[in-house]
Amino acid sequence: MDIIPAIDLIDGKCVRLSQGDYNSKKIYNENPLEVAQAFEAHGIEHLHLVDLDGAKAAHIVNHKTLERLATRTRLKIDFGGGLKSDDDVRIAFESGAAQITGGSIAVKNPTVFESWLRRYGTQKIILGADVRDEKVATNGWIETSDKDLFEFVSSYMQKGVQRVICTDISKDGMLAGPSFSLYQKMIDQLPGIDLVASGGISTLEELPKLKTLGCAGVIIGKALYENRIPLKSLEHYILQQ
């Protein structure tokens, strides 16, 4: 199971939100490179980098920060937030992203998202399925659509999508534990899914539970910044996997 810390960016700074609420913003570090290098120093190989400014503006904003992290660490960076056009995706890859995540675009403009799958391949394009009460949410979680999560993911898996990041918005940033039952249901009903759990991770003990369920990866955010999961203990877990 891939261990994937998250860095969320506003104004080029490392922040966290609670349940996607921009008014709940807390700045943890004004230098995301320091944070990324600390992750790397503790054996982390992957990074989930989210452009919250981009999500709000509906186009890529923090690509310079992406470029700095990509050129000054060896982390495999998955970049998302505000990727709406072919130019946005081109800029993200040219700035050093190994993969990009499309969420809102996959809901609102599936033709464009499917063109990215064809152009870049399913190894480079991740489906972001942000969910509230099993309905897909969009635009930095400001809007909830009427799309059923399972139908939405299944339709894209039929088009070749492999990796899906599913964030339960009700859990995100709350440090109350992840949606084990939701992820179990997804793995049971969507055979072959390469599922990355996101939202609510609060203790190290939750990681082996997610791995046992069959999750391919887990994104950890606030638990790291609040030291609920110290980087040293995460390093030990990675070595033991």
Whether pTM > 0.85 for this model: the answer is: yes
Catalytic residues: 8, 130
- Contact 19/200 with Cβ under 8 angstroms? no
> What does the alpha-carbon distance between residue 234 and residue 220 come to, in Å, rounded to a whole number?
10
pLDDT given for residue 12 in this prediction: 94
pLDDT given for residue 139 in this prediction: 62
Sign of CA dihedral 194, 148, 202, 98: positive
Q: Tens place of pLDDT for every residue, the chain, 241 residues?
A: 999 999 999 999 999 887 777 788 899 999 999 999 999 999 999 999 999 999 889 999 999 999 999 999 999 999 999 999 999 999 999 999 999 999 989 999 999 999 999 999 999 999 999 898 899 987 655 566 789 999 999 999 999 999 999 999 888 777 889 999 999 999 999 999 999 999 999 999 999 999 999 999 999 999 999 999 999 999 999 998 8
Identify the burial level of 169 via C-beta atoms within 10 angstroms of its C-beta, where 0-12 means exposed, 13-18 middle and 19 or more buried: buried
Domain assignments of the chain as residue spans, ordered by start? 2-240
Residues 6+ apart with CB under 8 A from 151: none
Superfamily of domain 2-240: Aldolase class I (3.20.20.70)
Q: How many CB atoms lie within 10 A of CB 10?
A: 20
pLDDT given for residue 172 in this prediction: 74
> What does the alpha-carbon distance between residue 233 and residue 236 come to, in Å, rounded to a whole number?
5
pLDDT given for residue 218 in this prediction: 98
pLDDT given for residue 141 in this prediction: 53
Beta strands in 64-186 (DSSP E): 76-80, 99-102, 125-132, 135-138, 143-148, 163-168
Stretch (H or E) spanning 57: helix 52-57
pLDDT given for residue 36 in this prediction: 98
